[in-house]
Amino acid sequence: MVHLRVVAPPALAEQAYRLLRDRPSALNVVRLADVAEQPDGDLILCDVAREDASVVVAELRELGLERDGSIVIEPISSLVSNAARRAEEAAVGSPADAVVWETVEFQTSESAQLSFSFLAFMILATMIAALGIIQDSQILIIGAMVVGPEFGPLAGLCVALIQRQRRLAGRSLGALAVGFPVGIAAAFALTLILRVTESTPDRLTEVSRPATLFISHPDEYTVLVALLAGTAGALSLSTAKSGALVGVLISVTTIPAAANVGVASAFGDWDEVAGALGQLSLNLVCIVTAVMSTLSLQRWFYRRRRRLSRSRRSP
């Protein structure tokens, strides 16, 4: 279940109240007249079955509440009520599979920002990965994958393309276009410093780094893993299963590949640079493809529920 807090201007309050009151998947509907300010209007509270939440919010937005009022969506961790059970039974689908699209859009919009913290995590992640490559440490490579923040802008780009939001797409592309070069430059600078201080071998070879050689040698498994991880990431994002997202981050080698570009450049190994760039590009393309395919399918089911909802309300 999700909780809706709606502020409706006087001209729309009655319509919004009736919409929620007459919804079988809604319960605990409360209307407090003329108590809201900035924006002014009635405060309407209700709980809605999660699988029906985006459909209800879309209908409220069609009334003009997005423009003249406000809609707040909050998750409910527990709700003990037979009415809640009946509301969930009245909604189409399973709560575990439901997507609250407004929440997905809000979360990806936040994580797609080019900010100091995003760049800091990119720099830290690629530097950790660079040390992992130099020391041939898979533990450091895994740590770098977890620290890396790149999935946020990738997910934001996919959501923006599906929802046709140019501003979000631009922000996501901007974060990726700046973040990866900055991370590569950090790995390059760190490797140069280590080389000057003679803290690295003269060169990195297949013999000296057997555990991390895969980072610059993409193959058919690279494609398969990236597609599966992208699909899992999309499901984690859309169904609020945050625990699965950690596994997604550990599965793909975007951050290690970017770090390897910097490390190999510092060593002057251009074949290794080309291989790492190929690994990075292949991962990014496959992740975006998988996320967009998964979200598009979920979006199709959502539109189907909206059509069904409209047909039920039609006289």
Indicate whether 33 and 159 sit together in one domain.
no
Q: How far apart are CA 305 and CA 310, in angstroms?
A: 9
Domain boundary among 55, 81, 98: 98
Residue 23 token pair: 């919804």
Indicate whether 150 and 286 sit together in one domain.
yes
Judge contact between 60 and 71, C-beta under 8 A: yes
Domain boundary among 64, 80, 98: 98
Query: Is residue 315 in a domain?
Result: no
Indicate whether 91 and 114 sit together in one domain.
no
Query: Is residue 278 in a domain?
Result: yes
Indicate whether 160 and 140 sit together in one domain.
yes
Side-chain half-sphere CA neighbours of 162 within 13 A: 26
Domain tally for the chain? 2
Residue 210 token pair: 């057997």
Indicate whether 163 and 88 sit together in one domain.
no
Indicate whether 117 and 251 sit together in one domain.
yes
How many other CB atoms sit within 10 Å of the CB of residue 312? 9
Q: Please state which of the ranges 42-46, 101-105, 174-178 shows the lowest mean pLDDT.
A: 101-105
Express each pLDDT in 193-225 by its tens digit.
998 888 878 777 766 678 788 888 888 888 998
Query: Is residue 158 in a domain?
Result: yes
* pTM score of the predicted model: 0.81
Q: Is 47 exposed, middle or buried (0-12, 13-18, 19+ CB in 10 A)?
A: buried
Q: Give the range of the structural domain holding residue 170, as residue numbers without chain letter.
A: 104-301
Query: Is residue 310 in a domain?
Result: no
Judge contact between 159 and 302, C-beta under 8 A: no
Indicate whether 121 and 204 sit together in one domain.
yes
Domain CATH number, residue 34: 3.30.70.260
Indicate whether 246 and 113 sit together in one domain.
yes
Q: How far apart are CA 233 and CA 151, in angstroms?
A: 8
The pLDDT score that the predictor gives to residue 209 is: 76
Express each pLDDT in 225-265 by its tens digit.
889 888 888 888 777 665 555 556 666 789 999 999 999 99
Domain boundary among 42, 64, 98: 98
Indicate whether 157 and 189 sit together in one domain.
yes
Query: Is residue 311 in a domain?
Result: no
